[in-house]
Structure 1
């Protein structure tokens, strides 16, 4: 009898193992998809924000020589000769422009210095390069006689660096004073603050517009509510580019809104609405409004209306009864919608780029600029990593004070 029981237990355990394996095999494609499209890009971004071997690969001998430099005066002759020889070789294979680009990121204005010096050093013959390399380098431009230039070169040659995070926070590393606030340009912290403020404004507008509409839909019969809900979902079936372009036609100087206001005599001249923060907020509120309505509607649909009727029948006034009974029950949907709208709006790119102009751009537009135009992927990765960290901190604060378990999408 005991052996039969042991056999049945083994068969049951084997069956459970097969079910777990089958379930895992069904989940494997999803795990691979998440790994390739979510985890791997984020890991690559974090890695690229601190790993930058470009300068170390271009001038390895010079960086080796700079390791024994005291950093107070200009480097010695062997170091200058090594740099002249490597610059001569880079000029031959047409990589001096790449070095100029890297140096310019480390110290503004070095691009033209490196290019002009590379041309002068490149004219030297091998025997002249060995004898006159250091002199030619110093005569080519006065910057090569400045210790701060060589300090910047040595720091740019580090394979692993946190300089891009300092730049993203409007900080810099001074050889004497350490980390300090950048004096020349301070733009990134202002952009982060501007992005958060605009995202907050968009979230508030979506809540003010979406809450009454969701409340109205939740009070309708199911067939009518479903019919009107199609109109809420209609923007999802329209191209984002088309919706944004429509706002351009509405908000431009000779657009529909200005023409209408001029026609009825409300304004005497067109109002500049396009390519402003106002245009970004209006267009993004329209685009993200369904993300607020759907969670609210899902939660409101499940609230028993008899609670509010019972409060009214017991003598409560409509507004206090709504505020004390109905509104707290809708907080899970409101918090879910607010979190969705806020996080999506923080990282939005297309709409601010098309309707915001310079005034209405967000941090995502600067990240795209460094990736597409300045080709500074490391700074773009650092900016993106800080944005990711900021979102995680905000989510942690939300979970601490509100509770992530209270989020409900239906």
Structure 2
């Protein structure tokens, strides 16, 4: 037994020695690999620095001309200092006041009177009235009328003067509007962009049914984008397939025809579609001449949702054809021949071998068509009519007509979140397919 133990202990020492030797070898390899990687990174550092210096001017240009303007615009959705800057003392005095207490104390009216005069002298009274009028109709005229009584002299208490001039100054709702608008950072614009409103007790609820416009337009825009994406993809796939399988000379001519609309003004293209689709246009005249429809049954093909979808599909078609064609061009024809030689029907070979290989191009083209179509502005404005108005048109309205840039920025954030979410889902789906 002692001899066996001796042999066993000796064998254990040999095994332990081998293990320590293997660990040492592995440690040396790991250390060598780390040193080589560090040396490689150090050798590549000048190349990376040169590459960074080459793209630095472009990065600075994009930062100043693209990122900075968009960021400053989107910040308007949550940062609104106009009332806080115009009435700082009034807002401070209203912080300790609650609407349940009724009309605010005299200190609020005195501060409000003094700051009305300052606002008038600065020339910002119109902007202030317009800002308050967004929260409640009639506030602009109320502020203007209140300004007319601020020049009185010898007044010791301003509360009776304001209330006597207009009973609305005695209502807690009036001062609640000023108090809520006096916050520099606010979520009211983002809530309004999704048809929500914050009540006096702090809860969030849907706006009255007759004021719910934005969510309806968002759903309509997404449906229009989905329709344009589907139609343009269905039309682009056979066109791209024909170009990919054509001879080089024929493919060049076909590609020239596809790209022809890029060489034409957007306005000219839209006007051409109006000529084609209007009530007395080419399409309706042709249908009447061939007896397909009667003179009294001319189709409404323009200035509605149908016109937006048709013209949008035409505009998106080249942008979907190009990525699909670029993928099809890289698929060797031998794949289909191999599948048919193994006994597959030509359609089965196409559907199970060729079509899956084109999915990256289809995904790229379809996502491009969808994202661009939900951001359309010119096409719906010219051919959409009342029923073809999209989300981008309401953003343009607040930018150009109502001058409510804060709400326009909030609406832009909503559509931006939708686009990023859809892109993230699509990107994850394509990554899972590759895995």
TM over 0.5: yes
After superposition, give the CA deviation of every residue in 1:362-405 in whole Å (9 maximum; x if it has no partner): 11111111111111111111111111111111111112223399
Matched residue, 1:6: none
The residue number in structure 1 matching 2:288 is 262
TM-score (norm 2): 0.85
Provide the C-alpha distance between the structure 2 equivalents of 1:140 and 1:322, rounded to a whole number of angstroms: 81
1:8 corresponds in structure 2 to: none
- Match runs of 1:126-145 below 5 Å: 126-127=153-154, 130-131=155-156, 133-145=158-170
1:287 aligns with 2:315: yes
Q: Could you say what secondary structure the match of 2:137 adopts? A: coil
Return closer, same or farther for 1:142/1:404 CA change in 2, 3 Å cut-off.
farther
Deviations 1:338-378 (A, max 9, x none): 11111111111111111112211211111111111111111
Question: CA–CA distance in 2 between the matches of 1:400 and 1:307?
Answer: 27
Structure-2 separation of matches of 1:33 and 1:404: 35
* Pair 1:171 & 2:196 matched: yes
Residues 298, 79 of structure 1: alpha-carbon distance in 2 compared, 3 angstrom cutoff? same
| Structure 2 residue 140 is the aligned partner of structure 1 residue 114 | no
Offset of 1:138 from its aligned partner? Answer: 1.3
Residue in structure 1 matching 2:236, options 201, 206, 210 = 210
| Aligned match of 2:152 | 125
**Counterparts of 1:308 and 1:12 in 2: how far apart (Å)?**
44
Alpha-carbon distance between aligned partners in 1 of 2:363 and 2:282, rounded to the nearest angstrom: 35
Once residues 233 and 76 of structure 1 are traced to their aligned partners in structure 2, the CA distance between those partners, rounded to angstroms, is 70
Quick check: 1:59–1:83 contact (8 Å CA) kept in 2?
yes
Residues 346-355 or 207-216, more deviating: 346-355
CA shift, 1:89, in A, is 4.1
Q: Quick one: distance in 2 between partners of 1:401 and 1:20?
A: 32
Report the Cα offset of residue 19 of structure 1: 3.5
Contact (CA 8 Å) 1:45, 1:385: kept in 2 or not?
Answer: no
Q: Which residue is equivalent to 1:181?
A: 206
Number of the residue aligned with 1:309: 337
Q: List gaps (5 residues or longer) in structure 1.
A: 1-10
Does the 8 Å contact 2:78/2:187 carry over to 1?
Answer: yes
Contact 2:308 2:380 in 1 (8 A): yes
Aligned mate of 2:269, from 243, 246, 264:
243
For 1:404 and 1:344, the matched residues in 2 are separated by 25
Q: Is the 8 A contact 2:303 2:388 kept in 1?
A: yes
Per the alignment, do residues 12 and 92 of structure 1 end up closer, same or farther by CA in structure 2, a change over 3 Å counting?
closer
Please state how far the C-alpha of 1:99 moved relative to its aligned partner: 1.9
Q: TM-score, normalised by structure 1?
A: 0.90
Three-state SS of the structure 2 residue aligned to 1:131 is coil
In the aligned structure 1, how far is the partner of 2:76 from the partner of 2:136? 20
What corresponds to 1:80 in structure 2?
109
1:168, 1:383 within 8 Å by CA — same for their partners in 2? yes
Aligned CA RMSD, in angstroms, stands at 2.2
Residue in structure 1 matching 2:219, options 193, 199, 217? 193
Residue of structure 2 in register with 1:278 after alignment: 306
Is the radius of gyration larger for structure 1 or structure 2? 2
Unaligned runs of 5+ in 2: 1-38
Deviations 1:272-323 (A, max 9, x none): 2221111111111101101110011111111112222232233322322221
